[in-house]
Amino acid sequence: MVFPSDLKILDSISSRTFDTVFIFYIQKSGQRSASDILANVNSKHLVNSQFLEFLHSLGWPVVIGEHPGWTGNMMTSWKVDLYSHDSSEKKELSHGGSLYNGRKQVLYFADALSEVAFVVPNLPEAKTSSSETSKRDSFISEDSIDSSTSSIGLPLPPLASNNNNKDDSPRDIIPETNTGTEEFLAASLSSMPKPSEAGIMVIFIHALRSGLYRVAMKSSSTLAVPLIDGMVVSRRTLGAVVRQTAVNVCNRKRLESDNYSPPHVRRRQKIQDMVHKYHKRMNVPQFLASLFDQDT
């Protein structure tokens, strides 16, 4: 039947914007290899303890398969799989952030208007993530990906203690910033713009000896507040201002597109289309009779 398919498409259109922020830890000055950077978060002994504190200030942990909202990847979002639960996932304590690599858990934040998933890619998991997520059943419609295509690929390399060269190119890290829309766009929507380095914004966060943090920003597009390049922020406010800046950048990027429509507008339009397509004119007796008529 056509109606159930349209109803699935309607359900796949989120009522809020959904964005993904990728976080990388640069351990020391001169560390430029993608494999070295990704391996930093495998153990808590390789990262500063304040890095884990920063991660948890961005959002709260959610388990993939138990979380009904945005998970940072189209293939695992908006579905609950009660049979995929593994209690051992929550007991891992020795990680340096790799637990939130998007395969088992992510850090999540949401309000009335937006959802944000914070993903910390790591070396061993990144090589197998694409093959495993492709095994999950997912219903992806053209309407449901419109919001995320403007926000994917926002790498955030935080707490790099000594590396202050913001001219380093993030191109080696781009393959790790996958949100599941890239394959879908390549296969069926080739006319839509693909993620590229030009559309990526990078926020570098450097720990200072004073306990404050200096922010450096790199972007080919217009930047957004509250963070600005060169700003120094406190430890207490760091997570909140980074999160808000990421959301503002994504919103600004979406608004720059002439074809963008807010989620509530797209849902309303889809509902109106369904009403126009399936409505039937009948009086009250006919309506009541149709409820018990299997052929109607």
Q: What is the pTM of this model?
A: 0.77
107 close to 234: Cβ distance less than 8 angstroms: no
Q: Per-10-residue mean pLDDT for the chain, 296 residues long?
A: 83 86 82 84 87 93 92 86 58 81 93 92 58 43 44 40 48 74 55 55 88 86 81 94 91 84 89 90 88 72
What pLDDT shows up at residue 29? 66
Q: What whole-number distance in Å separates Cα of residue 189 and Cα of residue 140?
A: 12
Q: What pLDDT is stored for residue 119 in this prediction?
A: 93
Rounded to an integer, what distance in angstroms lies between the CA atom of residue 79 and that of residue 138?
8
Domain 16-261 has CATH 3.30.470.20: no
Phi, psi of 144 (to 5 degrees): -75, -20
Q: What pLDDT, on a 0 to 100 scale, did the predictor assign at position 256?
A: 82
* Cα distances (angstroms) measured from residue 38 to each of 55, 96, 101, 224, 257: 16, 11, 10, 27, 32
Where exactly are the structural domains of the chain?
16-261
